[in-house]
Chain A
Amino acid sequence: MPDLGLSVLLKGKNMARLLGGLWVALRISLIAVAISLPLGILLGVLMAGKNRVVKAILRVYLEFIRIMPQMVLLFLGFFGTTRAFGWNISAELAAIIVFTLWGTAEMSDLVRGAIISIPRHQYESSQALGLNKRQTYFYIILPQAARRLIPLSINLITRMIKTTSLVLMIGVVEVLKVAQQIIEANRMTSPNAAFGLYLTVFVLYFLACWPISLLARYLEKKWR
């Protein structure tokens, strides 16, 4: 049995530090998800609507966010704004802002796609029964769109959680950064620690994302 370097985990408070790092990553992504899901639904409804000016503005926003690599957005949001506007926000807050902007943009496009995939006949038979526009949206269109959205939005949420591994680049000490620190600190005594630590990080990410996948599968079955 080769030395996987797992023993380092048991030294001092290493495991607790790793979990603390995971909590930082989850805090950033879950706050961003909690804001971007409702905001994305709102913007998605607007993007599927008829107002051309609103649609054009949202389109520009979406394309801007989608084309930019997340890393560039993080640098722009943290270093860029500090120099340009003299803001002094913490790296974690900058990360939350960037992830929220990103999640909202992607979510709005998913919602728009789900709404316009509902056949026109559904609107018409609802109106023919006397339901007004708001009732049609609320009782007919959105419930059907939500069912189509589940797998797509779950994918987005797990992507947002995973992408927090980038925020160490702006100095946030999250789980990956903690792992690197532990590896560095034990370079002499446990040269194999890298494997064990990264394996642990892998398992931690898996444990964070797996329940969300389970929830998605449950909802898909229940709402089929």
Chain B
Amino acid sequence: MAVKILAETLLSIRHIAKRFGDNTVLDDLSLDVHKGEVIVVVGPSGCGKSTLLRCINALEPIQAGEILLDGEPIKPDGKNITELRQKVGMVFQSYDLFPHLSVLDNIVLAPRKVQKRAKAEAEAEALTLLERVGLKDKAASYPRELSGGQKQRVAIVRALCMHPEMLLFDEVTAALDPEMVREVLDVILKLATQGRTMLIVTHEMQFARAIADRVIFLDGGNILENTPPEIFFTNPQTERARQFLNMFEFAAVKHHAPAED
């Protein structure tokens, strides 16, 4: 038997199904994520990308299959769910900072209350991380005083400060003005160079191509493509993926293109 040395599997999704009533969103989906891997998930809206991320963080219960993180099953009602969630950082499309807390308190709340870390230590780390994303001077500000791009960078720092083993990004630039998209994507690119394990849902195809180790194309609740970005973007294996990429390129011109929603 040939022994192949692969990076350790961090997250293992096995045959999961997710249904909302009669509507099947994820159907017998399996995926392995290895340590240090950056996976970008693309697909038409409604294909289940966001639901997939929400299932991984146990914000949605699944109806079949299992999700293992470091070999431990993730279930919304599981006893160790808060411990598992600490290992998975999630950043949302709408930032979701806590409006009643300052930037610094937003970041150190979970480290202090969940991980019971000392105030000084947590704040020192928060400030270091803020400095890295260029927002150290905003530590005392409140979320309402920040721009969208700044809020999203704070949200990323908030997730990082919990020392997650893996980061989930759910269309983090979709709600941003174009000129702020870049500043957020740059932060994520920097994280990739640090060897972080990340699962990224995005509509920024250029960014996907630059950052991904693997691109997952999701449609109809299934993984149709699971390939390196060079192959996915130049020579997609399925007709659906080809259509999807085409729609992207001509989105501005093809007014009669079937609206997907």
Beyond A129-B158, A132-B82, is A121–B92 a contact (Cβ under 8 Å)?
yes
CA–CA, A129 to B91, complex, Å?
Answer: 10
Q: Interface residues of B toward A: which range? A: 20 to 34
**Chain A residue contacts of B113, Cβ below 8 A:** 131, 135, 139
Q: Is the CB of A130 within 8 A of B83?
A: yes
CA–CA, A143 to B105, complex, Å?
Answer: 14
A122 close to B (CB within 8 Å): yes
Q: Is the CB of B94 within 8 A of A121?
A: yes
**Chain B residue contacts of A213, Cβ below 8 A:** none
Q: Is the CB of B96 within 8 A of A127?
A: no
**Chain A residue contacts of B103, Cβ below 8 A:** none
Q: Is the CB of A129 within 8 A of B162?
A: yes
CA–CA, A122 to B155, complex, Å?
Answer: 13
**Chain B residue contacts of A223, Cβ below 8 A:** 100
Contact of A131 (CB < 8 Å), options: B57, B110, B155:
B110
In the complex formed, the residue of B with least CB distance to A126 is B98
CA–CA, A128 to B114, complex, Å?
Answer: 12
B127 close to A (CB within 8 Å): no
Count A-B contacts at CB 8 Å.
Answer: 58
B85 close to A (CB within 8 Å): yes
B109 close to A (CB within 8 Å): yes
Q: Interface residues of A toward B: which range? A: 10 to 19
B59 close to A (CB within 8 Å): yes
A70 close to B (CB within 8 Å): no
Contact of A130 (CB < 8 Å), options: B97, B98, B162:
B162
B211 close to A (CB within 8 Å): no
B130 close to A (CB within 8 Å): no
CA–CA, A21 to B89, complex, Å?
Answer: 61
Q: Is the CB of A122 within 8 A of B98?
A: yes
**Chain B residue contacts of A135, Cβ below 8 A:** 113-114
Q: Is the CB of A129 within 8 A of B59?
A: no
**Chain B residue contacts of A130, Cβ below 8 A:** 82-83, 85-86, 110, 114-115, 162
Within 8 A of B (CB), among A98-153: 121-122, 124-132, 135, 139-140, 143-144, 147
**Chain A residue contacts of B99, Cβ below 8 A:** 144
CA–CA, A198 to B158, complex, Å?
Answer: 59
Question: What distance in Å separates the Cβ of A137 from its nearest Cβ neighbour in chain B?
Answer: 12
In the complex formed, the residue of A with least CB distance to B94 is A121
**Chain A residue contacts of B162, Cβ below 8 A:** 129-130
Interface positions of B (Cβ within 8 A of A):
57, 59, 82-83, 85-86, 88-90, 92, 94, 96-100, 109-110, 113-115, 155, 158-159, 162
7 contacts between A and B (CB under 8 A): A121-B94, A129-B110, A129-B114, A130-B86, A135-B114, A139-B109, A223-B100
> What 8 additional pairs, Cβ within 8 angstroms, besides A125-B92, A128-B59, A131-B110?
A121-B96, A124-B59, A124-B96, A127-B59, A129-B162, A130-B86, A130-B114, A135-B114
